[in-house]
Amino acid sequence: MDPISMNSYNMSNLLRISGLATGLDTDSIVQQLIRAASIPLDRLEQQKQWYQWQQEDLRDINSQLMSLRNDNVFKLKLQGTFMAKTVTSSNPSVATATAGANAVNGSYTISVSQLAQAATTASTDKIGAATKNSDGTYTYNALNNTGSDITLYLKGLDGNDKEIIIKNGATIKDVVAAINAKTNETGVSATYDPGLDRLFLVSNFTGTNSKIDFSGTTDPTAQNFLTTTLKLDSKVLDTGGITGQDALFTFNGVQMTSSTNNVTVAGINITLTGTSNSTTTLTVLTDVDKIYNTIKSFVDSYNDIITKINAKLTEKRYYDYPPLTSEQKQAMKDSDIKLWEEKARSGNLNNDETLMRVYYSMRNVVSSTVSGVGSLSSIGITTGQWYEGGKLYIDETKLKDAIANDLDKVMKIFAGVYETDSNGNTTLKTSGIAQNLYDTLKQGIDAITRKAGSTAQLYDTSFIGNRIREIDDRIAQMQRYLNDLEKRYYAQFTQLEMYVGQMNSQSAWLSQQIGVMMK
């Protein structure tokens, strides 16, 4: 190739064709140059990873703080939490009970002479509605053989008669379906037992207002279908039909009635289960175990998060273990990567100012005293040794004794002191530890959210979120710079290849001319 043709050769044809003229490994040289230029990019990636680890750990702590606030501390803000009652019955076969917050501790007597019952009736004998087959199945027989439809009238819940049409040739399954299609309007349900060969009707509620009333059925054929074919008690045709009954009982000497067997008297929710000539005693007491377990659940959750925060604040940082780059990970085993990143991530919240403020604020609240009442330690909840970082301990015996014998004090320490004015309006006079801790947790959660953001946010405007975006922008700029730099290196090596190629061509041409001249 002569010099002229070499000069006219398109440079793009030599792009990234390594060492054609020079014999150099261009790709290797360029990659090494880019690798050296990429060191600032690696540092940006490592910095981004560090912020991401901080963000993940802060959000994890925030989630646990919210759980403590919403699931535990909130309950202890409420006076009702400390009004839990337990009720024992001397005869559960007659009555069982639970107590509301307003129930007064003490013993109550109850005697039950009659339980509330739903209106109910059934076929008085077999009605021949089904024939049992040899394989155990049933063949259902036609019950309406009149040659025409039969219309029954069943009294509805609104006092008006509801039409129930029994088609000609209908079987017992059709009869049950027709009655049940009107259940929402009549309050009456039907079932059929093929083994007993009987139809059963029952009202869906108890008391004297429950009825099975077909008195609106005046057609003789329809009446005959009810009493002869279905063999129901003829009382279903009487005015008022068959009715249920109210419960009759005496509570603390006062006679009472109820349309259901579930009654509430003096804040006690009583379930009547049977009748008896003797008196049953219901004993209402403070539910010490329930209140204790609620407090213990709070202490356990508090200890979990306070221990976790303390560990993060004091965790050692290993400066010789920066986050790994993608290239470094490719050269390592998964197990080695895991061990390395444990040290690289360690200490990412060491002495973090935001977390430290939350930590000490929480400790200050639980160690405080409610004015005129007392502190947690006075009811058996104390702080451990200094090296345990604020962990709480419960003296079970002391706390349960306080709940059983000085419940008002326990309630005021957690829920606060309330006062009632002359108009009967109740207001909070002094905040309790639970209220103060609830507010402190909210402030801490908000502070951490401002720093690390939340997964619930559509757009992360937190401090760390903004820092990560800034780093992403710098990474994008750096990547564009490296792409341009790589192109420039390849262009320079391509130019070198062209120049060397030209020199080689000229040298070959001169050698050729000298050879001709010497012939």
Tokens linked to 328: 């470094």
Alpha-carbon distance 51 to 321, whole Å? 15
Amino acid at 373: V
* 480 burial level (CB within 10 Å; 0-12, 13-18, 19+): exposed
What pLDDT, on the 0 to 100 scale, is given for residue 269? 96
Domain ranges, ordered by start, for the chain:
3-37+464-517, 49-81+289-461, 85-116+246-286, 118-243
Given a cut of 50, whether residue 216 has pLDDT beyond it is yes
User: Which residues make Cβ contacts (< 8 Å) with residue 398, sequence separation at least 6?
Assistant: 379, 380
Q: Look at residue 490 in the predicted model and tell me its pLDDT.
A: 79
Per-residue pLDDT of 425-448, as tens digits, reads 888 889 999 999 999 999 999 999
Q: Which two tokens stand for residue 425?
A: 């309006």
Q: How far is residue 181's CA from residue 396's CA, in Å, rounded to a whole number?
A: 58
For residue 21, the model assigns a pLDDT of 56
The CA angle 473-28-496, to the nearest 5 degrees, is 100
Q: Give the model confidence (pLDDT) of 454-495 as tens digits.
A: 888 788 889 999 999 999 999 899 888 888 888 887 777 777
Class of domain 118-243: alpha beta
The pLDDT value recorded for residue 204 is 96
Contact at 8 Å (CB) between 65 and 237?
A: no
pLDDT in tens, 126-149: 999 999 999 999 999 999 999 999
Chain-centre distance for alpha carbon 273? 36
pLDDT of residue 54: 95
pLDDT mean over 375-390: 92
pLDDT of residue 16: 54
The confidence score (pLDDT) of residue 114 equals 97
Digit-coded pLDDT (tens) for 250-282: 999 999 999 999 999 999 999 999 999 999 999
> Does pLDDT of 377 surpass 70?
yes
- Residue 449 near residue 469, CB atoms below 8 Å: no
Q: What are phi and psi of 198, to 5 degrees?
A: -135, 150
Model confidence at 311: pLDDT above 50: yes
pTM listed for this prediction:
0.74
SS3 372: coil
Mean pLDDT in residue range 385-411 = 94
Burial class of residue 379, CB neighbours in 10 A (0-12, 13-18, 19+): buried
User: Please, which residues bridge with residue 53 across strands?
Assistant: none
pLDDT of residue 8: 35
In degrees and rounded to multiples of 5, residue 424 shows phi and psi of 85, 10
Q: What residue type is assigned to position 410 of the chain?
A: V
Residues 6+ apart with CB under 8 A from 90: 280, 281, 282, 283
Three-state DSSP class for 215?
coil
DSSP 82-130: GG-EEEEES-TTTEEEEE-TTPPSEEEEEEEEE--BEEEEE-SS----E
Would you state the pLDDT for residue 365?
96
CA separation for the pair 502, 508 (Å, rounded): 10
| Nearest by Cα to 432 from 410, 418, 415, 419 | 415
Separation of CA 332 from chain center? 39
Long-range contacts of 301-304 (CB under 8 A, 24+ apart): 301/67, 301/68, 301/71, 301/72, 302/68, 302/72, 302/362, 302/366, 302/392, 303/391, 303/392, 304/64
Give the Cα separation of 84 and 295 in Å (integer): 13
Give the Cα separation of 198 and 230 in Å (integer): 8
Residue 244: both structure tokens together: 């249920």
Contact assessment for residue 2 and residue 505, using Cβ atoms and an 8 Å cutoff: yes
